[in-house]
Amino acid sequence: MSRMRLACLLGIAAIYLAVAPAMAGRLEDIKARGAVNCGVFPGVAGFSVVSKDGRYSGFDIDICRAVSAAIFGVPDKVKFIAAPSIDVFRHSPGPDLVIRRLTWTLTREAPLGLMFGPIIYFDGQGFLVPKSIGVTDVQKLTGKRVCVMSGEGWVGNLMRFSQANSLDIRSIVVTSRSDGEKAFIAGRCDAFSADKTMLGAIRADAAEPQDYDILPEQISKEPLAPLVREGDDRFFQVVRWTVFALIESEELSVTSKNIDEMRNSSNPDVRALLGVAPGNGKALGLREDWAAKVISSIGNYGEIFARNVGPDSNIQLDRGLNRLWTDGGLMYAPPLR
């Protein structure tokens, strides 16, 4: 072997040895630590709340627990860490990922050395109205007083929407959710505008939630997704495919209740998903039944949605764009094979 060729091979090997640990580092650190550190921001009912005895629950919390189940086989090896902002995540070594109703945008990702995972919820700014005023669609908001919080771009979205549709909406800007809720419930504004996920929580806080409707239209795109750091490639893959497994299992009608029966399915996609046909686990550096552990302990995407924010909850959000693609929604997973 020539010296030049040997030098080239040694150079390639050195690059591989330098890159491989960096790619696998976060995942290996999590395994050695024995827990996933998940950044959350409690305060929105249905998505992330903490009870008086310190128990976490909600849609975001279940996604964190699903990642734990994929890595460890059980959902409770999670440490929840407060992540009030993206900057805190960027400058704190504590959280491995953040799941806290974060909208995926270009400037939150590319310039900051971060990566958003798959969309877990298609959100958008909408309107909460009391049924008593008879407003059933956004066109009937003409001339109405609408409470809207400063920050998050809600005021600008509302102004542009009003101007584009000649609605002459009168914005009442509030500085906090609590102030806005009080004004809205007291009747000082005819509607409340914010992301629909927040509107569901506000409606649930009302003394008579059934007296309020969330209008079907939305005026912005707010795709919510988990956030990880660039360079954590292997861990990013685990997070990504865990979310896809939740969606795929619903499409294949695999639930937390029928999973034992479904292990006997002859459907090759079901067999691959549940690890009966091996390969997926090895590809991710996990046990072959990693997705089965996720589904048995957390349920599929539809189960997570229903119990936290859908018909089995007091939030009562419509599935909307978060229906499966086979049902007219946008939820779609690449093949798990």
Amino acid identity for residue 114 in this structure:
L
DSSP tag of 126: E
What pTM did the predictor assign? 0.89
96 and 205 Cβ atoms separated by less than 8 Å: no
Contacts with 263 (C-beta within 8 Å, 6 or more apart), sequence order: 274, 276, 292
Which residue, chain included where needed, has tokens 């690449």? 334
Distance of CA 317 to the CA centre of its chain: 15
The predicted structure's pLDDT at residue 24: 57
Size of the chain in residues: 337
Domains located in the chain, CATH noted: 26-122+223-327 (3.40.190.10), 125-220 (3.40.190.10)
The residue type at 60: D
Q: Are 44 and 101 in contact (CB under 8 A)?
A: yes
Please report, for residues 20, 21, 56, 231, the alpha-carbon distance to residue 24 in angstroms, rounded to integers and kept in the order given. Answer: 6, 5, 29, 9
Q: What are 255-285's pLDDT values in tens digits?
A: 999 999 999 999 999 999 999 999 999 999 9
pLDDT under 50: residue ranges of the chain: 2, 4-23
Residue 151 pLDDT: 75
